[in-house]
Structure 1
Amino acid sequence: MSVVDTRLVQTAVIGTRDSDQPVILPEEPYNLDQFRRHFQQKRFWCGTLLGGCGEELMTKRYESKVCHFAHFPDRTGLAPTCHRVANGADSPDHLFIKRDLTDWLKTQGVRVQAELRNLGTGPGDAVDFWLPSTHQRLRFQLCLQDYRTWYRAKQEPTRSTPPVDDQSSQ
């Protein structure tokens, strides 16, 4: 297969436009067929938690190029204007981290609260976890930031909750 066109939308959410349930569309037609059978009753959205416009998406199957999600056209046949920047398979990493770490901690008997954070570039900039039993906060930062911006963001949660557990300063 040729080089992936990063303008193509490879990820979406299922449920509603504000859902935190991500899906990654397979690039190969055979795998897309299986994907469609598995999710046949689901609707896909250019999720707001992915930095998307919130409009519904359809799957596009191709033999000669990468399969991808596409916006449904409006009545005039044009796709809606969407300013989503991150379209690749890694764009929902923050949603997978939130879901999977929350589920894992709960199976370990640990009470946890998770929150997605926008540190200036989008809703997937960071995921904060609050562990009430240990009074600790853990952050997974997924965006690049200079030190001053990172430090301000690190201090910001301390206004209302305990500080981020920062192992790098020890």
Structure 2
Amino acid sequence: MDNIVRGCNWYFAQLNVWRVLDEVTLPELTFQTEDFTPGGHMMGVAWPEDMQPLKATIKLKSDDPRIRGLCGKQPGDYVTATYYENLRSFRTGANKGRIITMKGLLTSVKADVRKGVKSSMTEYEFSSIVYYEDIVDAVVVHRFDQFMGPGATVIGGAALFADMAANLAINGGTAL
């Protein structure tokens, strides 16, 4: 059993929330598909096309105004969120690190019911993600960058769309 999650942490910009972090839901990587059946054929296939927009949620045992104040920023004024994991191998005992860096907007702040002096949670939704990079043990597993385009995309450690970006001259000139 390798890569067992044995702890995590989250930063919003320079705000380290490890002392109040309760729960993290990482972005779901989902690709839309398009059904295609060639003429004269009876077998269809669903080809992967666009990736669905990414979003993450975290729950904190705090309602810090510095984090709440990040909600409502507009495109261009993106917030960097960084997620860290400690991965442990129960087979060898080795530790690995995982780092997910995202740029997006804090789009929702939802406070749980407050009841007496009991602690309660506040849930934050981080979406409009324009940059996502997942690194495990110093190897880039995924990278998606809305502004750099397909040439910067990495899937499974490979730059799958680098040839397409070169053919379309996406990485040259002044991008509008």
- Regarding TM over 0.5, the answer is no
Taking structure 1 as the reference length, the TM-score comes to 0.25
Q: Which has the higher helix share?
A: 1
Select the structure of larger CA radius of gyration.
2
Q: Which has the higher contact order (CA 8 A, sep 6+)?
A: 2
Higher strand proportion (structure 1 or 2): 2
With the length of structure 2 as denominator, give the TM-score of the two structures: 0.25
